[in-house]
Amino acid sequence: MSPIKLICLPYAGGSVSMYRDWSRKTGEPIEVELIELAGRGVRYKEPAYKTFNEMIDDIFNKCKLVIGDSDFSFFGYSMGSILAFELSRQFKIRLCKEPNHLFVAASNAPQISYEMSQKQFGNLSIAELDERIIKMGGIPDEIKSNQAYFELCMSLIRHDLDIACNYHYSNIPYQLNCEVTVLCGKDDPQVDMKRITEWDNTTLEKCSYYFFEGDHFFIREFDDEIIKVVNHQLKANTN
């Protein structure tokens, strides 16, 4: 059975270390690949991206080297979901190849991402933004207890949210030709549940939905369950 490289992408301010246990929890033929974004993790010395397009170009080039001629899929979380979607389209445009599957979690559909981001974060002062970030619950207690690390983390989150808030969806080329799986926390205040099915419009293939108890960071409680979904969907595609 040919391997499928699963490229995992983090949320705003996050690192791919959030997926550090996935390699031992996913079975064959899945090979987890962690592509770190600039400004964090092993790339912390590199300058953070100035625009969303700069982020796309950088990660596209790194993914291209990792993927080679292999089959591949993307898994993105929050901001990482939009990044995964746009990377899928870039592979279609530049290389005439698409992922076997696209997994998107804790994210609005790209068609409404800018609108929702502006509503939630667009007009906030730094103090208000910091308060919103802390309320979202994405910062572990061990980081909060280290003031220097906490400030660094907050600065990176602010920076990524600014990039996300300025992402503009283009409908050319419009739809993908791969299956899409959407994962959501039922109580996620960042996702418009009334419009979540707009992900249907991103692909000509099947779009599946999985809902979990929890808020924006439901992955922290349901990591194993999410991996089961990934295993099921990717192995179903290979049968």
- Both tokens of 78, joined, read 């929050």
């929050």: which residue's tokens? Answer: 78
Instruction: Give the residue-averaged pLDDT of 74-81.
Output: 96
Predicted local confidence at residue 218, as pLDDT: 95
pLDDT(239) > 80: no
| Structural domains of the chain, ranges and CATH numbers in brackets | 4-112+172-238 (3.40.50.1820)
Instruction: Give the residue-averaged pLDDT of 88-100.
Output: 95
61 burial level (CB within 10 Å; 0-12, 13-18, 19+): exposed
Q: Give the global pTM.
A: 0.94
Amino acid in position 111: Q
Q: Which of these ranges, 132-146, 177-191, 210-224, has the smallest mean pLDDT?
A: 132-146
Instruction: Give the residue-averaged pLDDT of 31-38.
Output: 95
Question: Over pLDDT 90: what percentage of the chain?
Answer: 67
pLDDT(137) > 80: no
Instruction: Round to whole Å and give the CA distance between 20 and 66.
Output: 17
- Give the residue from 112, 109, 113, 116 showing the smallest Cα distance to 200: 109
Q: pLDDT confidence of 106, banded at 50, 70, 90? A: very high
Amino acid in position 6: L
Predicted local confidence at residue 203, as pLDDT: 96
Query: How far separated are the first and last CA of the chain, in Å rounded?
Result: 10
Predicted local confidence at residue 238, as pLDDT: 64
Core vs surface per residue 6-26: b (16+ CB within 10 A) or e: bbbbbbbbbbbebbeebeebb
Instruction: Round to whole Å and give the CA distance between 4 and 185.
Output: 27
Average pLDDT, the chain: 91
